[in-house]
Chain A
Amino acid sequence: MAGPYEIFVLIKQVPDQGSKAGLNPDGTIDRAKAKRMLNPFDRYALQAALHVKRTYGGRVTAISMGPPPAVEILLEALEHGVDRGFLLSDRRLAASDTLATAYALYKTVTHVGKFDLIFCGLQTTDGDTAQVGPQLAERLSLPQVTYCEDFHLDDGRLHARRIIEGGVQFVDCVAPALITVANSYHPLAYKSFRGAWRVQQLQRNPEELGKYIRTVDLDIIQADPERCGLKGSPTIVAATEKVGELGGNCSMYEGHAPDEMVGELIEKSNLKEFLVA
């Protein structure tokens, strides 16, 4: 099978930690108020999925699990050239840990249908675990390539380079497979004018849009609610504690001439103690 490929890409909407909006005094995020964005790591996964489509042909389906506003990132994916999107949204998914999330995504993936490749981001900026991809691969009994930096396909065979401690590894396997894409892969290309325009047209016509983006719930995908949300999660966050600025307070030297800032640094730090005699 030399293409076309059926390509899935898993993307998540996360709070924008760069903006101060929606940050509670204790440092936790008020998800209702926080600005939202596409998980930065998933941009690489999206680029990888689109690369396969453009190079070898095929169809890209973006899949996300999250509250209704997550439809925004599916629209964004369409603007970038993704063919269709599925959003799994259900109140019973609240407080899912990675195991429950991977189960729900597994049910979604099998509901959507057959695939050759599934791309995931390396990790999310809110969950920050890098677990969901491999846990999904386990459910689907797939081989996986994590920390993938680059790859090509050769007649249905995936050849990939992945990061390891102290180097890289070249691996290959036959599709279907799940790949988590490292942030050293190519950055997401700019949206095409055509893609953005198409999505604009679609948004004016909800019925037409419904053909491209479908929202599903646990009943539709036939997932067991007992295995989702808080109930299906073997872990909970029992306590959080604010850690002030990491490593203490940074003395900043800013806005002065270099010689002044450097002089002050040498004065205040312990650099002098280590100078060659």
Chain B
Amino acid sequence: MSESVNLAPPSDGEVLVIAEQILGELQPVSLELLGAGRYLADKLGGKLSTVILGDNLGDIPKKLIEYGADTVYVADDPELRTYRTLSYRRVVCDLLETFKLPPHIVLLGSTTTGRDLAPRIAANFETGLTADCTELDIGPYEHKSKVDPSKVGLYEGCLYAIRPSFGESLKARILGPWKNPQMATTRPGQMTPLAPDANRVGKIVNIPVKLQKEDLRLVVAETVREVSKGVRLAEADVIVSGGYGLGSKEGFELMHELAKCFENSAVGASRKVVDLGWIPYEHQVGQTGKTVRPKIYIACGISGAIQHRVGMSKSGTIIAINKDPDAPIFKFAHHGIVGDVYQIVPELIRQFKDKLATKGEKTVVHTH
């Protein structure tokens, strides 16, 4: 090993999570980020803080402590009720300016909000940002390339931001140890939250909100969120999910019929069919819908776009029915039938009914 100097910028190892709420509802990805952030902070020997912005945040700061934060910075102001790029950007940048040393790491969720806000903050501080990470870790890094001699050296405590790249066929480890904060966003459903602990102690710090006129240039006229009405996607063992390949709204009758063959089942859907009004939003699986982990996920006429996949890739067994043998879903499904849903699904239902019938007969035989 060559003798090299550690050139990393000074740091006290602090990790900051930018938490997220929508209409007062804390987003699950924030708790996942606290889990990841706790791991990183412990490895760095630093503390874990989080910042939450909103209006009338109530119990949310306390909850953030229960899930692992040492310090919660709270910006509670009517102007912050709904996420807006410029006003949130202002508050977060102002907060970061007050740090004696910039945090070592800043994390956000790869949600529509996190992906909107993170690049603004990174560009403002001229620091690195890695999008959509699936794994985060800390480790050393030796930079040998002499293209920029000022960067050569051995760095300790670097953020390893690991993400898929090149159409998901590669995993890339991205580093930026030259400047803090080192920033990353993570996909919802990828990190594991800690078990909440009501006895955890932490500090809640209210931070000032000083918005300027230019921060209010964009107006949110309306936020439309459909609330879940008891479609039990999260608890189901088997999810039968339909996509644009169903061809019409009526296709979902077939989905329900297939779902009925299973114990504890539910019907899911892709965003495309939800947008078309074929089925209500509460059935949507994916980045902007629900994240599910059933034992079996049956995708019917769904192409497997990344935004759908992030919501269901952790399912036990993924079965795909698609008439296009090159559909991306076959790249991550466990079983794939290449065929028309309208031929395959009725046949599935028929064979299940046969099986049930023979099962039934056997039971009868046994009781005699």
Interface residues of chain A, those whose CB is within 8 Å of chain B, are 17, 26-29, 97-99, 102, 125-126, 128-135, 137-139, 141, 143-147, 159, 162-174, 177, 184, 230-231, 233-243, 245-248, 250-255, 258-259, 261-263, 265-266, 268-272, 274-277
Contact = CB atoms under 8 A, between A and B. Distances in A.
Contacts of B271: 184
Given A165-B111, A240-B171, A144 B132 contact: no
B325 interface: yes
B52 interface: no
Please name the 10 residue pairs, one residue from A and one from B, whose CB atoms are nearest each other, closest first: A234-B128, A246-B332, A235-B128, A167-B225, A134-B119, A138-B123, A247-B332, A235-B176, A129-B131, A135-B123
Contact of A135 (B86, B120, B218): B120
Nearest to B143: A236
A146 B348 CA distance: 42
Contacts of A174: 217
Contacts of A28: 166, 170
Nearest to A147: B112
A275 B335 contact: no
A262 B353 CA distance: 13
B229 to A, nearest CB: 13
Contacts of B226: 166-167
Given A170-B221, A268-B335, 6 more contacts: A27-B166, A128-B165, A168-B223, A170-B222, A230-B145, A238-B174
Given A240-B171, A243-B171, A274 B224 contact: no
Given A167-B281, A184-B275, A266-B355, A253 B288 contact: no
A99 B173 CA distance: 17
Interface of B: 22, 27, 82-86, 89, 111-113, 115-116, 118-120, 122-124, 126-132, 141, 143, 145, 147-148, 160, 164-176, 178-179, 214, 217-226, 237-238, 260-265, 271-272, 275, 281, 287-289, 295-296, 313, 316-320, 325, 330-339, 343-344, 347-348, 351-352, 355-356, 359
A198 to B, nearest CB: 34
Contact of A276 (B130, B263, B339): B263
B308 to A, nearest CB: 12
Given A174-B217, A250-B336, A231 B147 contact: yes
Contact of A126 (B119, B147, B166, B337): B166
B165 to A, nearest CB: 7
A241 B165 CA distance: 10
11 contacts: A99-B123, A130-B131, A138-B120, A143-B218, A170-B224, A173-B219, A241-B170, A246-B331, A247-B331, A261-B344, A276-B262
B112 A240 contact: no
A197 to B, nearest CB: 34
Contacts, number: 276
Contacts of A165: 22, 27, 111-113, 287-288
Contacts of A239: 172-173
Contact of B288 (A166, A251, A265): A166
B236 to A, nearest CB: 10
A276 B116 contact: no
B170 A143 contact: no
Which of A167, A230, A251: most chain B Cβ within 10 A? A167
A125 B166 CA distance: 8
A125 B86 CA distance: 27
A75 to B, nearest CB: 26
Contacts of B120: 134-135, 137-138, 144
Nearest to B176: A235
B129 A99 contact: yes
B217 A166 contact: no
Contact of B344 (A27, A145, A262, A269): A262
Nearest to A157: B219
Nearest to B353: A275
A137 B288 CA distance: 24
